[in-house]
Chains A and B, each alone.
Chain A
Amino acid sequence: MESEPVLDIRGLTVRLPAGADRLNAVEDVSLSVKRGEIVCIVGESGSGKSVTAFTVMGLLPRRVLVPTGGQVRLEGEDVLRASPQRLRELRGTRMAMIFQEPMTALNPVLTIGDQVDEVLRIHTKLNERERKAKVIDIMAAMRLPEPERLYQAYPHQISGGQRQRIMIAAALILDPALLIADEPTTALDVTTQAQILALIKDLQRRRGTGVLFITHDFGVVAEIADRVVVMQHGRVVEQGPTEEVLRRPQQPYTRMLIGSVPSLEPRPRAPVSGPVALETVGLAKIYGGGGFLRKERMVRAADNVNLHVRKGETLGIVGESGSGKTTVARCIARLIDPTRGAIRLKDAEIAALSQRRLRPYRRRIQVVFQDPFRSLNPRRTVGASIIEGPVNFGLPEAEAMERARSLMKLVGLSPDALTRYPHQFSGGQRQRIAIARALAMEPEVLIADEAVSALDVSVQAQVLDLLDDVKRRFDLAMLFITHDLRVAAQICDRIMVMEKGVVVEEGPTHQVFTAPRHPYTRALLEAAPGRSFGFGQAA
């Protein structure tokens, strides 16, 4: 029993439906997880890491993805040959799973206590009182405050980190031998992520759970893994102890992945001395407060924000969710109306202009959004999306198309792609298209709102280079909004750190990273996963 692994996957192959870009989702995958061990599967999107996890749980979409070969042994029992009935018994008792998005992974209309209790109702014969005591117990073990009160709460009433703790509570309540964690901290803020990682590590050590941890983030791998399995295109590229794989990667693909992780060490940058292109003075966005007949809660999404960006300069706004960084960006682009304060575009004051008078200025500030899958209209060709703006501002269609063709070349895509639709492109290509669309308006200010956050590391590095390149080429003032300190270190000339709607620190990137003054900035830097590994310096 001691020597037998908790999970032993041998030669697993899962077939994709006909017409997919390759034959198998995963092919000949072998890996194992021992008791009390954390094994990370790391890979980019499409590498088959999640399919592997779902196969173990028996949660593959029926008839779409079919395991065609190999064995998946959970404590010696082959789950590929288990009946649906037996699989249901195993889930929640011997193996459990937590997911990426704790907001959507919990049922919004059932109470939290009820959802943890559900596992006990399915798998045990305990009575109501015993079950409740057990649920409160595990919630306390997850270091959730006031478990008695939280028991009655609904998911929308608690924070993202607390929701993930609830997910973990439900997963571990029956002490499974195997915990599968599918990107469980990807949707969380860095400081919360650090807490959740520490919690998982602590629990698995004390309970001796074997953990299969899926992630795309090498920082997380460095923090938590005992062993690493690197996957690409459905195959295992390399596996071994964490130190070994991270310090001395054998395969070129692994080396490329590790080399693409942006370093926390900022590149040295000369201060930019061009004229100020964009400036805000006392900018604020306050929601609620003015309720008629009923009191509304007042939320200061952003308050007293003073910033300036010079031509040819990149200002990073860094912060966690709720810090107000995106609110500031949206106010500047006038996608939402600021409550007070000034926004100056060169010498023009645009904060209070009416929609009609604002129109000529719209062209001069352009935004690249986070999610390239949703920011392009799926029913229009790429070309139509790119030329829409310039044509609205009076450019003849033929000229706009000509401009679009040269921009496509600039962002590294073929001009022929203009006649195709967004779904025919990968995430990175779509983000290139979004950049081309913004540039087609010949803006003076480019706002990148988490523009590389949804991309794989290798693609992320390329898109960052592209953004840096177009900034220089067109002498743009760039406002770079991100939660990711590594990314900010690579591209920003200056950094502004926001917390709860206010700016807590501002300065040249190098200074903020090497000599942070505000405690919050220091907390953010300390929470960044994989600090000790010093990614990116070797590359």
Chain B
Amino acid sequence: MFLYFLRRLAATIPVMLIVAVLVFLMLRLTPGDPAAIIAGDNANAEQVALIRTRLGLDQPIIVQFFIWMGNLLRGDFGESFFFKKTVAELILGRLEPTIALALCTILIAVTVAVPLGVLAAYKQGTWIDRLVMGFSVMGFSVPVFVIGYALIYLFAIKLNWVPVQGYQPLSQGFGGFLQRLILPSVTLSVIYIALIARMTRASVIEVLGEDYIRTARAKGQVESKILFRHALKNAAVPIVTVIGLGVALLIGGVVVTESVFTIPGLGRLTVDAVLARDYPTIQAVILLFSLVYVLINLAVDLVYTLFDPRIRY
């Protein structure tokens, strides 16, 4: 098991290398010149060329790549073209809001979706099942920003329960932190509730047809224990897979939500960096996202063994 873990960790290295090459090349192939953006609208050609030399953009692409890689290996992500900070500082400053938003979202999604899915499975074919599945289809269909603005309108503007937007770091008090986090998290969680509830329902329905469920009934077990003790644990593997996928997709989702709620997280940073053609920042953020993807996949594979003793690595 530990060996397996080490092997999987080692396998992330080539993945990260490929991502690094792809990100680097794609950024250089997209139109837009960071030097021109930094220089501003009134700059002349010489000023732009000067900036380009200062940023090292006049070097051949291959040379730029190896300089970047060399720095990366030494743990240096470089300096932002635009924000006058090192990329590492920039990312560290934006990490907390994004992590808080992602964790809060997935927490809401799982605690709401799994019981809903189990309930729908147990009440398969009844109005309860149809209600849950109807909600689920809606969750898939309505775009995140529509839900976001609708919630802001209702809870922030009309009811005045929470602030409209913004973010307060955890260090300034838990109440305010949670108050500003709750709307964006609910917004973002809707689609994952839909996804996870559907998967839970399908998976539990399948398990409820198994012989050992009948055995549990023959022992005189009550229905709630049958559902949560016998069925859910057996249904867990596909559910955990979807939750893992959800966490991975979430990282993409925060870009929109952070913009709607003006939360200064990694999503906003990505948008700003792309608009400014801030190559070092974009590269670092995307590398970081890919690393998280790979690690989540590994975590999901390891979590399987908690639920199913037949899975051993």
Contact = CB atoms under 8 A, between A and B. Distances in A.
Interface of A: 57, 59, 87-93, 96-97, 99, 101, 104-110, 118-119, 122-123, 154, 156, 167, 170, 294
A96 B212 CA distance: 14
Contacts of B220: 87-93, 119, 122-123
B54 interface: no
A452 to B, nearest CB: 24
Interface string B269-313: 000000000000000000000000000000000000001111000
Contacts of B212: 104-108
B211 A109 contact: no
Contacts of A87: 220
B219 interface: yes
Nearest to A92: B220
A91 B214 CA distance: 12
Nearest to B234: A109
B234 A108 contact: yes
Given A91-B220, A104-B210, 19 more contacts: A59-B217, A88-B220, A88-B221, A90-B220, A92-B220, A99-B211, A99-B214, A101-B211, A105-B212, A105-B214, A105-B215, A108-B212, A109-B234, A109-B309, A109-B310, A110-B233, A119-B219, A122-B220, A170-B219
8 contacts: A88-B220, A92-B219, A106-B215, A109-B307, A109-B308, A118-B219, A122-B220, A294-B3
Contacts, number: 70
Contacts of B309: 108-109, 154, 156
B233 A109 contact: yes
The B interface, classified by DSSP as helix, strand, loop or mixed, is helix
Interface of B: 3, 210-212, 214-222, 229-230, 233-234, 307-310
B221 A118 contact: yes
A110 B216 CA distance: 12
Contacts of B219: 91-92, 96, 118-119, 122, 170
Given A90-B220, A109-B233, A99 B310 contact: no
Contacts of B221: 88, 118, 122
A88 B310 contact: no
B199 to A, nearest CB: 18
Nearest to A114: B229
A108 B211 CA distance: 11
B230 A108 contact: no
Given A57-B218, A92-B220, A118-B221, A156 B310 contact: yes
Nearest to A54: B214
Contacts of A104: 210-212
A99 B218 CA distance: 10
Contacts of A170: 219
B233 A97 contact: no
Contacts of B229: 110
A110 B234 CA distance: 9
Contacts of A59: 214, 217-218
B218 A96 contact: yes
A121 B221 CA distance: 9
Given A105-B212, A154-B310, A91 B233 contact: no
Nearest to B235: A109
Contact of A108 (B214, B216, B217, B308): B308
Of A122, A123, A167, A294, the most chain B CB neighbours within 10 A belong to A122
Contacts of A118: 216, 219, 221
A107 B222 contact: no
A105 B216 CA distance: 9
A90 B220 CA distance: 7
Contact of A99 (B215, B230, B234, B307): B215
A328 to B, nearest CB: 28
Of B210, B219, B230, B308, the most chain A CB neighbours within 10 A belong to B219
A294 B312 CA distance: 14
Contacts of B230: 107, 110
A88 B222 contact: yes
Nearest to A100: B211
Nearest to A170: B219
Contacts of A93: 220
Given A89-B220, A118-B221, A107 B215 contact: yes
A97 B234 contact: no
Given A59-B217, A91-B220, A118-B219, A105 B211 contact: yes
Of B3, B211, B233, the most chain A CB neighbours within 10 A belong to B211
Given A108-B212, A108-B234, A109-B233, A91 B218 contact: yes
A171 to B, nearest CB: 8
A107 B216 contact: yes
Contacts of A90: 220
Nearest to B229: A110
A109 B228 CA distance: 13
